[in-house]
Structure 1
């Protein structure tokens, strides 16, 4: 028989599966808890992106005010994305232990003061420190992906993750338009340029505070309630940190996805940091034009990353997990080729055209990645998400240190070499293999089942206590990842009940 779907239980406005995860994704709905959490999460992530990348579009003014050198600017850009490396790992742990609602609201609220204080920066060192602290807010990406994976069924989880992540990433492009506009309005009001750029930082700070309170008061961790409520009632097992950490660190698939994500999302972060100044310096365009071009890259997230998530779900319907992996490899590799080409094109029009096409592929690869992540682990989903997300930031840091720090390479050469790195690092996707579904190059292992894979995360003693039972529901719902091998008949006897 088909995987059971509950058609509109009394307390849910959307159809749900046996875990009460939504089996449909209705973008225009704000129905609680599924779609309300979706909108709260992407809006919060959006504001954090606006804050973290509020400085680059105003760098020509900030550079003159604080006497920043090229090295100072490069270091500040690295600091902005390196701050989230460990924050994302910590966020994954917090999501596993306390739930995405509290974890997300706390981080967004805690990093808002750093955004406000950027207006007080008086030296290159203080500017760097404040960008570093603001960058911690990018860890909300992990809570966003964790939250969507907790609320949406496997058949639409790629779409939910892709749209939430993509629309959140829009903040990286929107800030390229928002901050110059706010700056211009403040100047028109009579302020000097050095005063205007400082005052402009109050806008992203206020946006963060509003989104944090929205999540805290209106969000819900899981379809059936918040973590604290479900743990008190005994409906949810309160897990231990050492067990979920061990489960994540010993799953090699998480490490591979962290590496490959470093060269799709990490590249996106790098482009957000360098592209406005690149067009401003190389093609001699004005600040507004450079910001508009840079914004076009980030704003492609409106459809590109969501498109990647949707594509992942689409190919999985016929080809299962193997289809998800093949599509991720192909799309990210094409993105690498386009990145190489971007560094080689010498005309303004050609560079803009390649940038736009490149943005679609590199951002779609991000969506495709998080079409795979929710299936790597159930018990350690938060840390696996954090490892993958943190890998994106590590990739951004390494790329900027190697290719865009100081004057060792010209920016165009750095972009070309970054494309080569994308192509090379994407090859390791071929090593990912799920016993129950297979991988790019190898079929499934004989006799392997979803229950075998996910229940193995629990010890025999824990299974005796029934801690694994929630995993059984996910195992059943994830049989769709067999693709065309999925037989709509009674499932094999469950030996773990």
Structure 2
């Protein structure tokens, strides 16, 4: 449970640093005199490098364990977060934003760590909860960063100085969390990877057996279907995190703090929505097996696409807020449902599969970013097109199938985990 709580706190802080600048972009845009196309390039840069980082970080977790990987991620990732304030031009800001995007790979470490720590009957709920509470950082930062900015302004700093100093706060928090993660977590329930490789022959054999699984995972079309599916839910969430504040600021003529508070409602649904998706995935798995998890994932993704198209048509502020919240629920439930499927694709390469699917989220955000940099396309029109794409991608859930042997193995594992739970709960 220490790994559970520290992994979501770490992901929360990475998300906070990753999108800390997003609600302040209206100030940055005015100071650096950015065009819509340049803002679009910055949005793309914030998620582009994460595609590569997520592919690499899953492999790294398999090699050195999630504990050391997360420690490095938090401490090294804090550097560009704090130093983005040194930017004085579009080009330098773009480079720092690109570097910050690497910390988005923290998601893969979070999912890897909970996948190896929890039993099959609850792994979907555990994965969804740590990711959901971590993603909550994307909503909280929309609300809190404008307040931190306002605090520095109240202390006498100019707007051009205040946003720079505000970004130091999430960076310092990430460094502190990295130290705690190193001291208080282990790689596996049995202990740390390095110690287990030396003391447990069975664990070493299992580790060696997993080496060929990397290529197998790359050849599995289900992995790439989930890559696209996750792009259609998490990719959409990243996109909304990047544009929501500036969207409400421009289209509804709201001030920075109000726009940030409303935009933050989107991310706040992560308190329970993503966990709900994972929980429902576990319940569907109990009743209908692995195919039940997949059916649930596809259905929620389809509803997400419909809700996004409805949200894009709203011109009255109350209706825009209401439909955004409904849309947000489906986005985050789809993410949780997706990662209730991921741990069952390839047990020997959980890190690789998690990394590839996680990278799909950022690849989706990159593709969506091109919609929002076009000068002749409004944000509302871009959101409508995005909704159509999401609805179409939901059909790819039909590709994610499991053999009878896989279903049988999952059923046996589930039965064993339920029996273990019953024994723990029974009186001595």
Cα drift, residue 244 of structure 1: 3.5
Q: 1:236 aligns with which of 197, 203, 206?
A: 203
> Is 1:80–1:132's contact at 8 Å kept on the other side of the alignment?
yes
**RCO comparison, higher one (Cα < 8 Å, 6+):** 2
* 1:368 and 2:334 matched: no
> Is 1:81–1:397's contact at 8 Å kept on the other side of the alignment?
yes
The equivalent of 2:403 in structure 1 is 435
Task: Measure, in 1, the Cα distance between the counterparts of 2:73 and 2:243.
Answer: 26
The equivalent of 2:146 in structure 1 is 180
Q: 1:107 aligns with which of 61, 66, 73?
A: 73
Instruction: Summarize the alignment of residues 447-462 of structure 1 with structure 2, pairs less than 5 Å apart.
Output: 449-450=408-409
> Is 1:247–1:379's contact at 8 Å kept on the other side of the alignment?
no
* 1:423 and 2:391 matched: yes
- Any stretches of 5+ residues in structure 1 without a counterpart? 1-34, 439-443, 451-473, 484-497
Q: 2:379 aligns with which of 402, 407, 411?
A: 411
Task: Measure, in 1, the Cα distance between the counterparts of 2:299 and 2:416.
Answer: 22
> Is 2:210–2:349's contact at 8 Å kept on the other side of the alignment?
no
The equivalent of 1:72 in structure 2 is 38
> Is 1:321–1:437's contact at 8 Å kept on the other side of the alignment?
no
* 1:274 and 2:240 matched: no
The equivalent of 2:266 in structure 1 is 297
Cα drift, residue 243 of structure 1: 2.1
Q: 1:252 aligns with which of 221, 226, 231?
A: 221
Instruction: Summarize the alignment of residues 23-422 of structure 1 with structure 2, pairs less than 5 Å apart.
Output: 35-233=1-199, 234-237=201-204, 238-239=207-208, 243-401=212-370, 403-422=371-390
> Is 1:112–1:205's contact at 8 Å kept on the other side of the alignment?
yes
SS in 2 for 1:113: helix
> Is 2:145–2:166's contact at 8 Å kept on the other side of the alignment?
yes
Cα drift, residue 437 of structure 1: 6.8
Larger-Rg structure: 1
Task: Measure, in 2, the Cα distance between the counterparts of 1:213 and 1:250.
Answer: 37
- Any stretches of 5+ residues in structure 2 without a counterpart? 419-428
> Is 2:74–2:175's contact at 8 Å kept on the other side of the alignment?
yes
Cα drift, residue 212 of structure 1: 1.0
Task: Measure, in 2, the Cα distance between the counterparts of 1:239 and 1:437.
Answer: 23
RMSD in angstroms over aligned alpha carbons?
Answer: 1.8
Structure 1 or 2: larger helix share? Answer: 2
- List per-residue Cα deviations over 1:319-372 (Å, max 9, x = no partner): 121211111111111010000111111211111100001000110000000000
SS in 1 for 2:189: coil
Cα drift, residue 476 of structure 1: 4.0
Cα drift, residue 408 of structure 1: 3.1
Give TM-score, length-normalised by structure 1.
0.81
SS in 1 for 2:186: coil
- List per-residue Cα deviations over 1:145-166 (Å, max 9, x = no partner): 0110101000000110010000
Give TM-score, length-normalised by structure 2.
0.94
Cα drift, residue 118 of structure 1: 0.6
The equivalent of 1:10 in structure 2 is none
